[in-house]
């Protein structure tokens, strides 16, 4: 288990493999983002994308699932304060296989019992193209409660 003190700026991790299916794209979009280029393969052919694409929110949900499946048991995570700079960089198509890459870009001991990180998260397709990126602000438990707070580390 990694605590705040164990994590270093520059630390990176790559993990996951998730194949996105047409059925899943349509099912997610019908419930949460019912735009024709997400729900109707024929209508999608006439769209900007030229074929069915996953909702960006679906891609974000897959990213979260990969993080939970592959990293959440490794870190003393306490949740997150939010995220910044969310970008959908490339469309995700049926058959794409997604993975995740993270990098700790900042670390701050902001409370006696926890610190916060800034972690760049990128979701990549099977070709190594970044399809989604954002910076998340997770809170991580400190190993030593009562240590100096409000200092940048």
Q: How many CB atoms lie within 10 A of CB 2?
A: 16
CATH 1.10.1040.10 is the classification of domain 8-152: no
pLDDT digits (tens, 9 = 90+) for 55-114: 999 999 999 999 999 976 788 999 999 999 999 999 999 999 999 999 999 999 989 999
Domain ranges of the chain: 8-152
> pTM here?
0.89
What pLDDT sits at residue 151?
46
pLDDT digits (tens, 9 = 90+) for 52-72: 999 999 999 999 999 999 976
């Amino acid at each position: 288990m990694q605590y705040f003190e164990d994590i270093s700026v520059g630390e990176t991790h790559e993990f996951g493999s998730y194949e996105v299916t047409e059925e899943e794209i349509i099912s997610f979009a019908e419930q949460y983002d019912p735009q024709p280029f997400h729900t109707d393969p024929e209508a999608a052919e006439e769209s900007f994308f030229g074929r069915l694409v996953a909702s960006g929110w679906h891609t974000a949900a897959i990213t979260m699932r990969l993080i939970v499946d592959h990293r959440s048991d490794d870190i003393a995570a306490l949740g997150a304060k939010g995220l910044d700079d969310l970008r959908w960089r490339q469309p995700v198509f049926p058959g794409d296989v997604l993975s995740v890459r993270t990098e700790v870009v900042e670390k701050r001991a902001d409370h006696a019992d926890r610190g916060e990180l800034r972690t760049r998260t990128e979701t990549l397709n099977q070709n190594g193209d970044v399809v989604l990126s954002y910076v998340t602000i997770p809170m991580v438990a400190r190993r030593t409660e009562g240590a100096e707070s409000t200092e940048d580390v």
